[in-house]
Structure formats: structure tokens, C-alpha cells
Amino acid sequence: MPLYWMYEAAQSSLGPARALADAGRLYFKNPANPASHTDWGRKMGAMCEVFERATRRYGKPEFGLATTLVNGERLAVTEKAVWSRPFCNLVHFERAMRPGARKQPKLLIVAPMSGHYATLLRGTVEAMLPDHDLFITDWTDARLVPVTDGSFDLDDYIDYLISMFRFMKGDVHVMAVCQPAVPVLAAVARMEADNDPFVPHSMTLMGGPIDTRENPTAVNQVAIDRGTEWFQRNVVTMVPWPHPGAMRQVYPGFLQLTGFVSMNLDRHVEAHKEFFNHLVDGDGDSAEKHREFYDEYLAVMDLTAEFYLQTVDTVFVRQSLPKGEMTHRGKPVDCSKITRCALMTVEGERDDISGVGQTKAAHTLCSSLSDDKRVHYLQDKVGHYGVFNGSRFRSQIAPRIHDFILSNQPRAASPSKPAAPAEAPQKAEPADVGAEAKASTGADAAVKVRATAKRARSNGATRLAEPQGPADDLTRITGVGPKLQAVLNEAGIFHYWQIARMTEDERVSLDAKMTPPGRIARDKWVEQAARLVEAG
């Protein structure tokens, strides 16, 4: 527990020295200062900058992608959060397309939740943006999430992914970069097992640890040798005040960064020596490249302890997925159920984090997938980061992924897939709820909804033993997260229409299972559900 507090104390104590160094940098680089034109002055300025940057806490970077080139035309790009939960925002890169322009395939890039921010994939986004309607998962720093927002583990991660796929009505292709390869594969497997109509068209897994028994790396071996308990004792600590997530148990970013740097310590020391020499020599271009790289590399986020430890145990220690032992919410993750979602795997010949063969193992697990729906590609002369960034990614990997996506894009894909069989008996009644809500807006709509719900009570109980057709994504209702959706499912509520016609007794009963109570009325679940029924 004291570890994080000690780190914060060290950061605070370095504040005055860092401010003084920054002032010295400005002083010795000012052209009006005669010392700035001397070798001694340039060295002093360079020393001040190296010290300030080495002791700085780096904040979340920006994507900074203001434009992109689509079919030879430069278009403006705007970032917009279209789906949000406490630990993640789904960001859409909206392009100013011409009216009537041909629609491009939707691509959801699942960024790794392994220390760095989603902006680490800036090059990936930039390469895929011209040919795809692009979305990306923007994970939230755990130290910024209040404890009252609940926990977040690997099961929650999979819940988030399933919710995103349903939010996009399944009309999407998904790309998982490194760590999320396992939860993405698990999410698709669970959806396929449930015959969910919103399964993505395809998934591309890149440098992911699907089966760490294949060609194990030093990273894999450390996890096996030390075990989950060692990580719990040595790397888990508690967020200190005054961060919003105070008292939350996390694997802190500064410890992750220590691990990243220690793996290639000599290279980082040499890079900073070269940076110092570039500053002294006045090589501005080389110095700026160093700044850009380390502004991204040194920006890290905290991970929730439960997510980190469950991932270490499931993926690296027990290797549950390839052994057929992985579960999600108590249900088995069976990749042999995958038959509709096409699979592409990409590996790097020199990957020292996810060894060659670890990602390809997904094809063995997806044994029911037809040959025309599977592709594997091994890129020579690239390491882990070269799998999703750099010149070879842009020239050789990205075009192959684009071709794979196009080959699995339905020719006449509709905006959404059918939500449920038309003959489901309970579906006819809630349509009336939405129809009456549509007739009015504002307060009048609320009155209509309550009146219709009251009349619907005589039609029978709203609780079901199981969903009538595919279950609705109840997390689309503001105030309902994955855990509350599980509470509702346990109570026999799987569909929007059930909430729309909820009785007062049912509301009171459900409120008693929630902390704090009163959410249903406060967040207007009944009215929201009626609008979702109306929207179809």
C-alpha cells in the first residue's frame, strides 16, 4: 500500500527541481542569451531538458489526426465518443464524407489495456482510416475511476466487447492488437455459442497471447515461474488521495513503465545519450523524433488489480483458453462454436513478447470455421511493435488486413441484423408501448409510457425463465452496466419491453437488489426502454 504514496511523494519533491530545470532550459536556449551560442551553454540547456523530461509524469497523449486521405480527397476527421462506460469510451473517427459517398466497412480496433493508452496505436489508426469507418476502444486510467463505479476484471472486459458489438448491430469487423486477442476471441466464442445475431463479420488477431505454450518468451516464463500470488504481493498497490480512484487496488503505471524500460535498459540509456548530443549539436529533427516517441512511450495508465491478476492467471499461468478451461460468467469459452466470424491472425518473425505460433493457435481452437474464413500471415523482419506500426505494417500488413475485411464484408449488408424472430409471442405487446411513446414527447411521452405499462400488466408477468429470442443489450439504458444487466437477467428480465411495462412492485423489488436504490426512477429506465423498443 505505501508504494504508490512513496511514488507520489517523490514526484512532489522533484517538482521544484523540475521547474528549475525547465526554467534553465528556456534560459540557455534563448537566442538573446549569449551563452546559448556557446558549447557550454548548449550543454547546460540540453542537460536541463533531459532532466526535466526524465522526471516528468506524462499525461494522456492526443491522437492528433485532424485529416485523412480518402480516394484522393483530403477529409477532416473528428473524434467522437459514441459509447461510454466507466472504464472505456468507444471513440469514432468521423470523416467529413461527401453525401452519397460509398460506405466503407466498419472497423473496431480494440487497443491493448496493458499500460499504454490507445494512442499507442496512432500509426495503426492512421493507416486504416482511409479505407474504413473506424472506431477504437479508449480505455480509462483506473486511478481516475472512483471506487463507487465498481470493479473491472477480465469478465467485465469481455462484457464490454459484447456490448460494443451489439451496439454496432454486428455490422463491424474487429481488430485486436496484442493483449485483447484473448478477450476478443472469448467474446466472439460466447456470442456464437448463444447464437447471438450481432457477431462481427470478422476478427483480426495481431501478436496476441492465445496459447503461450507455443514458443514461450521471457515474458511468458516470468509469469509461470512466479505465479499469480507473487504478482499480487509485489505489484498490486492502492491509489492514494487526491486521485478520483483513491483506495482502488491497481497495478500502477509507474511499475509497468519500470518493467518496460528494464527489458531494454541499455537501449533507452543510449537513446537519451543521443538525445543529449542532438540537442548540443542543434539537430532539431532528430531531437523532435525522440520527444515524440518518448512522449507516447512514457505515458502510462493504471490497471485495476482484479483485471491484471485474472489476466495473468488465465492467460499466462494456467493457459486456460487453449486448454478449454476458460469460462466467462461461469459459462465455458468454446472456440469450436465459432462458425460465422472469419479469422485472420498476424504475427511478427522477431516478436519477443508474443512468440511465433502463439497467435496462430487460434486457428486450431476455431476448429469449426471453414477454410475460406481463415487466414494467417507471418511478417518477416519485424518485432512485436512492427506487427501494428511502422513501414512494413503500412506497406505489407495493413493492405492484407483490408483485403481480408473486404472479402468478408456482406455485399448488401444492412445497417442492422434482425434482432429476434418475428413470431416471438412477447414481441407484439411491447411494440404498442413504443408506438404510444412515439405519439408524444417530453412529459406527455412519460405519461403515455406509464399508462401503457399499466394496461400491459394484465397481459401477464414480465419476468421470463429465459430470453424470448436473442436478449437485448440492457447496457444501452443509461445507468445499467454489465453488473446491473446480470442482476436484471437473474431477475428474469432480458428485453427492453419488460422494463418498459415494469410494475411498481417489480421496481421496488429490483431496487432492493441495487446499491444505491432508486436508480430505476432516477435514470428513467422505463422511458428509456420504451424509446429503445420504438427504435426497434
Q: pLDDT digits over 178-188, tens only?
A: 999 999 999 99
70 DSSP β-pair partners: 73
437 close to 448: Cβ distance less than 8 angstroms: yes
Nearest to 176 by CA among 203, 139, 214: 203
Q: Is the pLDDT of residue 448 over 60?
A: no
* Band (515; pLDDT cuts 50, 70, 90): low
User: Minimum mean pLDDT among 276-280, 319-323, 429-433: which range?
Assistant: 429-433
* pLDDT given at position 265: 86
Q: Which three three-digit cell numbers place residue 335?
A: 472456440
Rounded distance, CA 139 to CA 114, Å?
10
Distance between start and end Cα atoms, the chain = 49
Best-predicted range by mean pLDDT (417-431, 470-484, 504-518): 470-484
Residue 109 DSSP label: E
Residue 8 CB-half CA count within 13 A: 15
* pLDDT given at position 225: 84
User: Minimum mean pLDDT among 327-341, 398-412, 464-478: which range?
Assistant: 464-478
Rounded distance, CA 237 to CA 259, Å?
16
pTM of the entire predicted model: 0.73
* Band (114; pLDDT cuts 50, 70, 90): confident
